[in-house]
């Protein structure tokens, strides 16, 4: 049985991971961490997840050697929890997006001492979309324009989405372009669209779980690749698969591609 500490347990993703874990015989959520945990749970009363396991507001009170921490919360917590996992000898599966370069560096430092799987999107469909992006770019002349349109619910804290950024950065790398070729939204007047840029457009509203479309536009024709997440269950299933994979892995920073490859 893999012991899980779930950080961000009261959030949208935390609740989806809780549900996926309940359906998996080989993982058990030992501790839930969230500053918004219901008072009754913190006092040792009824557990809102309905499963055995303590609730705490503070990950440092519960993370132990041998645990796998699954974290979907906010960047400051992601960074702190990565350090804690390195210190205590716990593995980490982390999906929080919107990390600053400093936060990313802190996670990389932690990954020198403990195994960490980081992904802006734990769904199998987005992993396939990354590969499809490679294949389409490979097949097209460099003159085709690439734009990414993403939509998410009205509560999403960061934009563009981490997934849109990851897709755009993959396209930049394939085209030999730098970060300065990334355009986040367009407004105003200019001399048209230079061929040497990749645009991302963020739409926010309602309860959309997450949608990413990659548009490839040539002269007189276009291609569109689209992924729609209909519920958070797809992300949660990927996070549980990553938890299984990372348990016992050597220290290092891994991606969902590593999890889906052979080991
Ligand atoms: P949410 O706001 O519903 O949940 C975040 C939880 O973190 C909340 O319950 C909040 O109380 C808790 N939290 C915040 N600060 C805390 C602190 N200091 N200590 C303890 N708990 C704290 O958000 P969400 O929709 O669940 O998304 C969480 C993150 O996961 C976001 O960055 C989002 O973009 C990302 N996300 C990633 C994927 C993926 O597949 N990688 C999928 C969906 C969402």
130 with 58, same domain?
Answer: no
pLDDT exceeds 70 at position 100: yes
Q: How far is the CA of 139 from the centre of ligand 1 (A)?
A: 37
Write out the two tokens for 168. 């755009």
Query: In the prediction, which pLDDT does 55 show?
Result: 85
Confidence of residue 46 (pLDDT cuts 50, 70, 90): very low
Both 215 and 91 in one domain: the answer is: no
Phi, psi of 213 (to 5 degrees): -120, 135
Q: What is the rounded average pLDDT of the residues 114-122?
A: 97
Determine the average pLDDT of the residues in 217-226: 98
Q: Which residues are catalytic?
A: 152, 156
pLDDT in tens, 122-139: 999 999 999 999 999 999
Is there a contact between 120 and 143 (Cβ–Cβ < 8 Å)? no
One domain for residues 20 and 106: yes
Lowest mean pLDDT among 155-159, 190-194, 212-216: 190-194
Residues 137 and 203 in one domain: yes
The reply to whether 178 and 237 lie within a common domain is no
- Pair (241, 136) in one structural domain: no
Phi-psi region of 206 (alpha: psi -120 to 50; beta: other; left: phi over 0): left
CB 6 within 8 A of CB 16: no
* CATH number of the domain residue 130 falls in: 3.30.360.10
The answer, yes or no, to whether residue 94 has pLDDT greater than 80, is yes
Query: Are the C-beta atoms of residues 256 and 237 closer than 8 Å to each other?
Result: no
Indicate if 79 and 37 belong to the same structural domain: yes
Spatial CB neighbours of 90, under 8 Å, sequence gap ≥ 6: 5, 63, 64, 65, 66, 67, 68, 69, 84, 114
Task: Note whether 11 and 112 are same-domain residues.
Answer: yes
Q: Do 106 and 16 have their domain in common?
A: yes
Range of the domain at 189: 124-229
Domain check: are 240 and 201 in the same one? no
Which residue out of 8, 62, 164 has the highest number of ligand 1 atoms within 8 Å of its CB and is therefore the one to mutate? 8
Contacts of 67 (CB under 8 A, 6+ apart): 3, 4, 5, 30, 88, 90, 91
Domain count, the chain: 2
* Distance (Å) from CA 175 to ligand 1 centroid: 33
Nearest to 260 by CA among 120, 117, 136: 117
Residue nearest to atom 19 of ligand 1 (CA): 35
Position 189 pLDDT exceeds 90? no
Local structure of 136: helix, strand or coil? helix
Rounded to an integer, the average pLDDT of 58-79 is 96
> pLDDT grade, residue 197 (50/70/90)?
very high
55 lines ligand 1 (CB under 6 A): no
Q: Verify that 143 and 217 share a domain, yes or no.
A: yes
Does pLDDT of 178 surpass 90? yes
Mean pLDDT in residue range 100-126: 97
Instruction: Provide the β-strand partners of residue 203.
Output: 151
CATH number at residue 43: 3.40.50.720
pLDDT score of 99 more than 50: yes
- Distance (Å) from CA 233 to ligand 1 centroid: 15
Average pLDDT rounded to a whole number, residues 22-44 = 81
Query: Is the pLDDT at 108 greater than 50, yes or no?
Result: yes
Tell whether 50 and 87 lie within a shared domain: yes
Residue 191 is predicted with a pLDDT of: 79
* pLDDT surpassing 70 at residue 50: no
Q: For the chain, what is the mean pLDDT?
A: 93
pLDDT level of residue 190 (50, 70, 90 thresholds): confident
> Quick check: CB of 73 below 6 Å from ligand 1?
yes
């Amino acid at each position: 049985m893999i012991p899980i500490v779930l950080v961000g347990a009261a959030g949208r993703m935390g609740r989806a991971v809780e549900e996926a874990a309940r359906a998996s015989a080989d993982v058990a959520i030992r501790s839930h961490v969230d500053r918004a945990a219901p008072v009754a749970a913190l006092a040792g009363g009824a557990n809102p997840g309905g499963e055995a396991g303590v609730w705490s507001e503070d990950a440092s009170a519960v993370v132990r050697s041998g645990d796998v921490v699954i974290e979907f919360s906010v960047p400051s917590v992601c960074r702190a929890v990565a350090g804690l996992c390195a210190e205590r000898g716990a593995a980490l599966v982390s999906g929080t997006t919107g990390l600053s370069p400093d936060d990313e560096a802190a996670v990389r430092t932690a990954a020198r001492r403990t195994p960490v799987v980081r992904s802006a999107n734990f769904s199998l469909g987005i992993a396939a979309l990354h590969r499809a992006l490679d294949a389409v770019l490979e097949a097209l002349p460099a003159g085709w324009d690439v734009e990414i349109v993403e939509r998410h619910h009205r509560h999403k804290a960061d934009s563009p989405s981490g997934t849109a950024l990851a897709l755009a950065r993959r396209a930049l790398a394939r085209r030999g372009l730098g970060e300065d070729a990334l355009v986040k939204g367009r407004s105003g007047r200019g001399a048209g669209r230079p061929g040497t840029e990749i645009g991302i457009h963020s739409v926010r509203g309602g309860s959309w779980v997450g949608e990413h479309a990659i548009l490839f536009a040539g002269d007189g024709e276009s291609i569109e690749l689209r992924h729609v997440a209909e519920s958070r269950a797809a992300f949660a299933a990927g996070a549980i698969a990553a938890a299984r994979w990372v348990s016992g892995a050597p220290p290092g920073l891994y991606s969902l591609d590593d999890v889906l490859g052979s080991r």
